[in-house]
Structures are given as C-alpha cells and as structure tokens.
Amino acid sequence: MSEQRLFMVEDVWLRAGQASAYLANMGSKPRHEPPHAWDLVGVFNQKRIAGEWPSAVNLWQMSWSSLAGRMRHQFGNDAPREEVFERWWTKSSGERSAGWDRVLLPGEGCPELFDLQAKPLGRCLIQIRTAVRPGASIAHLAWLESVISDGNVQGPWSPFLWMRAVHSSETFLYLAGHSWSGVELATRAFASPPAAFKARATASLLHSWDRSRYLFSDGQ
Amino acid sequence: MRRAPTRLTRYRIPYDSLTVNESDAVGVRVELLGGAVELDLWSIWEVWGDTDGKTRGGMRNVLNAVRSEAWELVDVHASAGSTGPWPHVVAVWRATSADAIERALSTGDLDEFDESGIVRGRSTLMRGVRGAYPDQARAIRYERVVASDAAALDVEGPDFVLADVLCPWQGIAMWGASDFEALSVREHSGMGWVQRDALVECVGWWVSPMPDREIL
C-alpha cells in the first residue's frame, strides 16, 4: 500500500499579475529533499478563456509513504528546518495568496510517467474537474475509464491522467495535445455523463510551463 | 460606451476535416449547412472586483482596453449586487474565427489582461445552442445552470442559451427585458429555470449593460 502511486493537484490562487513570476519560481529547485521528494509531473499556466484565474496548477506524483513522510517532516517537532523550502515559500508568498490541494488516486490504465516521457503528449492541457454526488466518485472514474478504454477519444487530444480525489467526491480528467487545434471538440467523448452522477464540472485550459518534463521534449 | 451589436460570426469547417459524426456529437451540436458546419463560440467571464480595488466601472475600463485578434468584446454587464454577486461584472466575448482562437491560445492573447484590483475570474468557453444574444436588452436575468444532460438545455424559454463547449450539460441562460421594471414583470410571470426538475443546479442574478457614466 505504502508505495501505491498517488498524485496531488495543487490549485494555486495567484495574486494579480503574478503568474509569470510564480511559474518561474515554481520548480526552479526541488522543494522537497530526499527521502520524501515528490516527482513534479507538471507546472501549468491557466489560460484566460476557460477556467478560474488568476491561478496556476501544479501536478505531483508520490506514494502514500512519501506523502506521509513529507507531512511528518513538515509538521513534526523534531524535524530540522528546510532552508530550501522556506526560501521558496517566502518568495512565492508575494506571488500567491492561497490555494486548495487534492490527493488523487489514478484510474485503471493511467499511463506511467516513464512511458509518457518516451512519447510526450504535448504541452496543451485540458483539465476537467467534476464534482459528483457523494459516494459516486469511484463509479464516475469507472465511467471515465470505460470511455477511454473503449477507444472513444480520437483526434489530436490524448487522455493523459484520470483520477479520483481521496478526500472529496470529485474526479479529475486531463487531456493533452501538441497544439490547441480542435480544442472545441476535444471532450466530446465525455459529453454525456450518466444523470445519476449529478455531475458539476469545471473545465480549464492549461499550458505547460517549461518544467513539465513528462509532457514535452525540448523543441516541442 | 456600449459597443454596437456585432455581426454574426461564423466559421465553416469542410466535411473532410471532421472526425466526428452525428452520433458522436453528443455535446457539440453540429449544423450541416450546405456542406459546412457552423459553430458559434463565446467566452463568458465572471469577474469579481474589490471594494478597495476595481469596482464595476473600473473592471469595465480594463476590459475595454483589452485588444484581441481572436475575441471581440460584445458587452460588459454590471451585475446588480442586490440580486447576486458584487462588485461583479460579466464580460461577453465572441470568437472571430476558429483559426484565431487556436492562434491566440498559442500566443497568450488575453493572458496579459490587467488583473490589478481584481479578486477572481471565472471563464467558460461556450457555444450558442438556442435563441440569440439579447443585444437590445437593458436588463437581463443570467442563470448559470447544470442540467442532467445536454438536451435539457436546448428548450424554449430564455432568449439565449449557451452550452459549455467542454462540458455541454452545463450552460448559461439569458432572459432579457427593456428595463428592470419590465424584467420584474417577466419575473412575476414565472420566468427562470430555478424550479426545473431537469436541472442539477441553477444560480441566477440580474445584470445590466454598463451605463456610460462611471459607476462603482
């Protein structure tokens, strides 16, 4: 269990006009030191025409043990101060005001990051965060999995990650593409969630910052 | 200054560039018009200002200053605080062309919008599904709705219904009137979708085109 793959999505509420400064600072150095380091999957800039702003999204991969170890280190009385993390926090405090993080479990068939790195999906991202009725997030994730595994997602956009939140009745779906071409048709396979889910979704268009190494290679 | 109603913006996609057939197009209604497909794209921004930052007039001014190749600002509506959020405006943008949207997303068009004095914004990429934008209305009831399915949005009643392009079972309904008195009469007659069973969520409020004078 302790090494089960987990993800964390950080919904970061930025201060006005601070997106570029925050994104440049984010991921410039490892925030967390071994042995509890997390893998930074991507840093994303919120596009203006769909989503909530000003904000940025950070996506991390970890395990239960590295999550718990990191939390123990951060909040324990016996842990030494982490100067790198504290310097980063102090600088970024002028760039962000608050946020909301969620721990997520990946769905069946979610690609391994190693595989993604071998064949990057592109730096244009669509995030669909869906709140469903309490008790229905496992079933909603299974529905997302079925749409994907049935091959219903076609065209220039590829499913990147599909996950459910551990602490809320929500799912997250990410689609990635090498350009914004066809964005208005990208989610058509997911256009009809069964009514019983009472799905309420927020769609965001995100652009990968330079340190999203699993989503694109140099020159892409 | 309120902008004049704009021409209907349409773009056409040749049949052979489509990878979708009618059975696939559950959420994106495609209309076959003599060998072409018409999509009518909008981006609706809800913007929260700050009593100590930008109020509604201030937000109108910075929105009017935005220049975009891909998006035309059709209106900035002031939300009537006594019926909903404040200080708050709704910016109504309409796409000039599909090519321009793709290019604008790639180049960061609109991303440099002046956010100072603004607390939060929420934008939705939308398409018109029924009716027409009420460009002559001086008072409008906005409703942000979540339906049980996309078809539940395509029903008579509102003057204009928009569906979320990426989550098409959600949308916005607009109910217009010549002024707030006429809107009140329309409200009294039973306007609005709040009582509809087919909806999962419905949140409404009144808005007005921004007056030419400065307002808070």
Q: Where are the domains of chain B?
A: 11-209
Residue B2 confidence (pLDDT) above 70:
no
Predicted TM-score (pTM) of the model is 0.89
Please name the CATH architecture into which domain A107-208 falls: 2-Layer Sandwich (3.30)
Distance separating alpha carbons of residues B25 and A43, to the nearest angstrom: 32
**Which residues on chain A are in Cβ contact (under 8 Å) with B45?**
48
Residue A79, CB-side half-sphere exposure with 13 Å CA sphere = 13
Strand B88-95, strand B71-79: pairing: antiparallel
Q: Is the dihedral of CA B30, B73, B193, B149 positive or negative?
A: positive
Q: Closest to B111 (Cβ–Cβ): which among A48, A154, A188?
A: A48
List the structure tokens of A159: 């499913």
Best A44, A48, A55 member to test B by mutation, with max B CBs in 10 Å, is A48
Q: What is the DSSP string of chain B?
A: -PPPPPPPP-EEEEGGG----TTT-SSS---B-SSEEEE-EEEEEEEE--TTS--HHHHHHHHHT---SSEEEEEEEEE-GGGS-SSEEEEEEEES-HHHHHHHHHHTTTTT---TT--EEEEEEEEEEEE---TT-SEEEEEEEEESSGGGGS-SSSSEEEEESSSTTEEEEEEEESSHHHHHHHHHTT-SSTT-TTEEEEEEEEEEEPPSS---
Q: Which of A20-29, A198-207, B7-16, B81-90 has the lowest mean pLDDT?
A: B7-16
What is the tens place of the pLDDT at every residue in A13-63? 999 999 999 998 886 666 666 777 888 899 999 999 999 999 999 999 999
Residue contact B121–A53, C-beta within 8 A: yes
Q: Cite the beta strand spans of A51-95 per DSSP E.
A: 51-53, 55-63
* SS3 label, residue A154: coil
CATH 1.20.58, domain B11-209, yes or no: no
A48/B113 touch (CB, cutoff 8 Å), yes or no: yes
Are B120 and B59 in contact, with CB atoms under 8 Å apart?
no
Which tens digit of pLDDT belongs to each residue from B101-144? 888 898 888 877 889 999 999 999 999 999 999 999 999 999 99
Of A19, A52, A124, the CB nearest to B122: A52
Domain ranges of chain A: 5-103, 107-208
Instruction: Show Cβ contacts of residue B205 under 8 Å, excluding neighbours closer than 6 positions.
Output: B79, B80, B83, B84, B85, B141, B142
CATH topology of domain A5-103: Alpha-Beta Plaits (3.30.70)
